[in-house]
């Protein structure tokens, strides 16, 4: 029965057309009065982006060859240090000081969702399928607002991601990720997914993601589904021996193959093939 499954999803470039982290950053700059650099001396977003890429490139070079799946997963897990250093720079600069839920909601209105996403949600709702969104994004408020502004009530879809810390007046303190969990890497996602499943035992999982940051939960899922054709993820899979098949080749009755993932180009393909097929 399809209701034996849970649909677990990444957010950026899986549910959305593009990455949305820059929109969360724009909300912070709006609170300061300008996107490029505030009167209070907050650096432009490009400074943070460039520093992150420099750290990541150096880490990638120092890690060495990644010719096995084990090495690739180790590389992805250990990258948490790079992510934390980036967050620390942003906190030190005070970028998210004074940002409010209203700033985030205004930016959330700019999010473009992938076509067909809501069709899959409606189909799964009719089947009694449980959901979960797992993201390294910085704001649950932002994600939930984007969903609700476009689709109405979305209370049946829990959102797990980092959150901005707010003071008693509802203004950002400048601190990020003061939620009950911290999501920096795919390994963090996978751990949280396991905790989620422990509270809902007996369910099989379909995980949909788009990047190497989703590799841990994609491989852990009963059915791992890659959204789109991101070149970096496909090249990684080829390098470490993971086979990518079209979703039309999925047989839910066959035993799980831990080295096989399935691909879709749009959400509506899940209505044609797999455990949520509208037959």
CB 137 within 8 A of CB 162: yes
pLDDT of residue 1: 45
Per-residue pLDDT of the chain (279 residues; tens, 9 = 90+): 447 889 999 999 999 999 999 999 999 999 987 654 444 578 999 999 999 999 999 999 999 999 999 999 999 999 999 999 999 999 999 999 999 999 999 999 999 999 999 999 999 999 999 999 999 998 999 999 999 999 999 999 999 999 999 999 999 999 986 667 789 999 999 998 888 888 776 788 999 999 999 999 999 999 999 999 889 999 999 999 999 999 999 988 787 888 999 999 999 999 999 888 876
pLDDT of residue 179: 61
Which residue pairs, CB below 8 angstroms and at least 24 apart, start in 263-267? 263/225, 263/226, 263/227, 263/229, 264/208, 264/225, 264/226, 264/227, 265/228, 265/229, 266/114, 266/115, 266/116, 267/114, 267/115, 267/116, 267/117, 267/119, 267/120, 267/227
pLDDT of residue 202: 75
d(CA 71, CA 48) in angstroms, rounded, equals 28
pLDDT of residue 98: 92
**Nearest 10 degrees: Cα torsion 196, 134, 25, 109:** -110
Name the region of 87 (left: φ>0; alpha: ψ -120 to 50; beta: rest). Answer: alpha
Q: Where do the structural domains in the chain lie, given as residue ranges? A: 1-18+112-136+183-279
List, in order, residues 6 or more apart from 128 with CB less than 8 Å away. 3
Return the CATH class of domain 1-18+112-136+183-279: alpha beta
Q: pTM for this structure?
A: 0.93
Distance of CA 2 to the CA centre of its chain: 24
CB 160 within 8 A of CB 183: yes
pLDDT of residue 37: 47
What H or E segment, with its residue span, contains residue 194? helix 186-198
What H or E segment, with its residue span, contains residue 74? helix 69-78
pLDDT of residue 141: 95
pLDDT of residue 276: 87
Bridge partner list, 8: 132, 207
pLDDT of residue 39: 47
CB 245 within 8 A of CB 224: no
């Amino acid at each position: 029965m399809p209701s034996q499954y849970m649909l677990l999803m990444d957010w950026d470039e899986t549910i959305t057309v593009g990455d949305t982290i820059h929109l969360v950053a724009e909300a912070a700059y709006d609170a300061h009065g300008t996107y490029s650099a505030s009167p209070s001396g907050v650096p432009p977003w490009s400074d943070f982006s460039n520093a992150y890429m420099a750290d990541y490139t150096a880490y990638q070079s120092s890690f060495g060859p990644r010719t096995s799946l084990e090495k690739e997963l180790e590389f992805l897990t250990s990258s948490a240090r790079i992510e934390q250093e980036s967050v620390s720079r942003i906190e030190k600069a005070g970028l998210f000081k004074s940002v409010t839920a209203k700033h985030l909601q205004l930016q959330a209105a700019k999010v473009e969702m992938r076509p067909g996403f809501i069709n899959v949600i409606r189909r799964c709702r009719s089947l009694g399928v449980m959901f979960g969104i797992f993201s390294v994004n910085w704001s649950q408020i932002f994600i939930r607002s984007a969903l609700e502004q476009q689709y109405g009530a979305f209370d049946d879809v829990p959102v797990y991601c980092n959150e901005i810390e707010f003071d008693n007046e509802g203004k950002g303190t400048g601190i990020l990720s003061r939620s009950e969990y911290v999501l920096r890497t795919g390994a963090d996602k996978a751990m949280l997914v396991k905790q989620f499943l422990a509270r809902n035992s007996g369910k099989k999982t379909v995980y949909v993601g788009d990047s190497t940051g989703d590799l841990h939960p994609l491989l852990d899922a009963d059915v791992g589904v890659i959204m789109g054709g991101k070149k970096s993820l496909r090249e990684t899979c080829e390098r470490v021996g993971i086979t990518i098949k079209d979703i039309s080749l999925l047989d839910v009755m066959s035993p799980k193959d831990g080295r096989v993932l399935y691909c879709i180009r749009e959400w509506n393909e899940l209505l044609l093939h797999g455990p949520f097929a509208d037959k």
